[in-house]
Amino acid sequence: MESTVVNSSDTPAGTVAARSALARSVPARSVLAGSGLARSVLTKSWPAVISFSRSRTFSRRRSAVVVAATAALTITASTLIATPAHAEGVDAAAVEQVLRQAGAVTDVAPAASSKLASPNDAGVRLPAVKSAASVSLKTGLTVATGANTLSITPVVESASSAKTLSPSGLAVFGNTPDSSIAFSKASTGGNAGYAVITGAGAPTAYRFAFAVDGKPAVLKSAAGGGVDVLTSAGAFVNSIAPAWAKDANGAELPTSYAVAGNVLTQTVEHAGAAYPVVADPRVRCDSLWCTLELTRGETRSLAANVLYAGGPCAVLGGGAPVCVTVLTGAWAMASIALSRGQCIGYRVWKANFVSYPHLAYVGCYA
């Protein structure tokens, strides 16, 4: 007996058509006679038709589920890949823009050389000082300082806070919804950490942990409001410039440091300020030199020959008299620095704050 292929559908009409086709597949005499063959064919074939119909229905539904699931996974994966950093709690590009507008971060091309400004060695030129500093999301800011390596990491409010790199390579760490902490190196304006405050709900205290060669550093308050960084044995490693903070209008805000163990806390009184506010603990020394960076205001005063150099130079302790002598005669360099959108930096040998003093053009941090 020839068999007929039945293409059933899920509709009642399709079911009737299938039944008719099966009936036609049996010889007429067997059906009319009500033979066992006819009953056998219908009994055995009908469940197969129903099973086939249900199988196709299940297949369609399963395919739809698979397609939907695949689409959902694809959308989810695309969302995860395309989500910008700010959706996770920190917008590194926005933080960098705030720091650039504040003048704290700039693209600094190192000069070919620095002018030696010591009264005894006028006219001698020194090689440009290249910083060996680096920033990363793991270690924050790392600065090679001679035989030692100094690292500064943020102590953020939440261990799960987001962290990411900005377009220019700043390491940015989320702190609270209204604040973040960023680190830069010399090529973007200076070896520094920044507290960026974007709203009144932000805290007033920002903490930074210091380590020397992987071990907790010893921090000591210094003259002029700065902080000295020492090894556990008391050897000098680096210096942190006095605290500063200013709001979006350039107004200076009350700020100060406090030290406890290896943690430096900068307090910024920002109530009523124009946001965003930027505060900055800045590292002064690299492997050879320590740099006293003048602000824009100090550089303007120097260019006008009205700067009281004893003020900024006081932080150098025994090296202050030489610093005053050098800066007092640097008005011409200060004028050139201002014309370039830069400030004056006074560099001196790290070993004693006295030897080989010289001037350099630096980015203005404030």
Give per-residue pLDDT as tens, 191-226. 888 999 999 999 999 999 999 999 999 999 987 788
Tokens representing residue 116 in the block: 């030696």
Domain boundaries, the chain: 12-82, 89-110+128-287, 288-366
Place of tokens 């040998």: 349
Please tell me the least confidently modeled range out of 90-104, 125-139, 261-275, 283-297: 125-139
Mean pLDDT of the chain: 73
Sequence-distant (≥ 6) Cβ neighbours of residue 173 within 8 angstroms: 90, 137, 140, 154, 156, 161, 162, 163, 180, 181, 182
Strand partners, 264: 208, 259
Residue 256: band (very low, low, confident or very high) from pLDDT cuts 50, 70, 90: very high
Q: Which residues contact 108 (CB under 8 A, 6 or more apart)?
A: 186, 187, 188, 189, 362, 363
CA torsion sign for 187, 322, 120, 350 is: negative
Confidence of residue 304 (pLDDT cuts 50, 70, 90): very high
State the angle between helix axes of 331-339 and 296-303 in degrees (0 to 180), rounded to the nearest 10. Answer: 130
Looking up tokens 């694809």 gives 74
Q: How confident is the model at residue 276 (pLDDT cuts 50, 70, 90)?
A: very high
Most confident range, picked from 58-67, 98-107, 327-336: 327-336
DSSP single-letter state for residue 130: P
Which of 132, 69, 99 lies closest to 198, judged by CA? 99
Of residues 241 and 158, more confidence is placed in 241
Does residue 272 surpass a pLDDT of 60? yes
Beta-carbon contacts of 320 under 8 Å, excluding residues fewer than 6 positions away, are 310, 313, 314
Rounded distance between C-alpha atoms, residue 53 and residue 23, angstroms: 18
Six-digit token string for 114: 């620095």
Please tell me the predicted confidence (pLDDT) of residue 58: 45
Angle (deg, nearest 10), helices 36-82 and 12-24: 140
The predicted-structure confidence for 257-267, as pLDDT tens digits, reads as follows 999 999 999 99
pLDDT of 36 reads: 38
Q: What angle do CA 14, 20, 24 make, to 5 degrees?
A: 140
pLDDT-derived band at 287, boundaries 50, 70, 90: low
- Chain centroid to Cα 272, Å, comes to 27
CA contacts within 13 A on the Cβ side of 112: 1
Tokens of 352: 């004693």
The stretch 249-273 carries a mean pLDDT of 95
Tens of pLDDT, residues 108-123: 544 444 443 433 444 4
How much of the chain exceeds pLDDT 90, in percent? 34
Residue 274 has a pLDDT of: 96
Please state, in angstroms and rounded to a whole number, the distance separating the CA atoms of residues 80 and 192: 32
pLDDT at 54: 44
Tokens standing for 82?
Answer: 């395309």
Total number of residues shown for the chain: 366
**pLDDT tens, 2-48?**
433 334 344 444 433 433 443 344 333 333 233 333 333 333 443 43
| Residue with more model confidence, 294 or 2 | 294
Identify the pLDDT of residue 151.
93
**Is the peptide bond between 254 and the residue preceding it cis, with omega within 30 degrees of 0?**
no
Note the pLDDT of residue 10.
42
Structure tokens of 266?
Answer: 């900068």
- Residue 350: is it exposed, middle or buried by C-beta count within 10 angstroms (0-12/13-18/19+)? buried
Q: Rounded to the nearest 5°, which phi and psi values hold at 68?
A: -65, -45
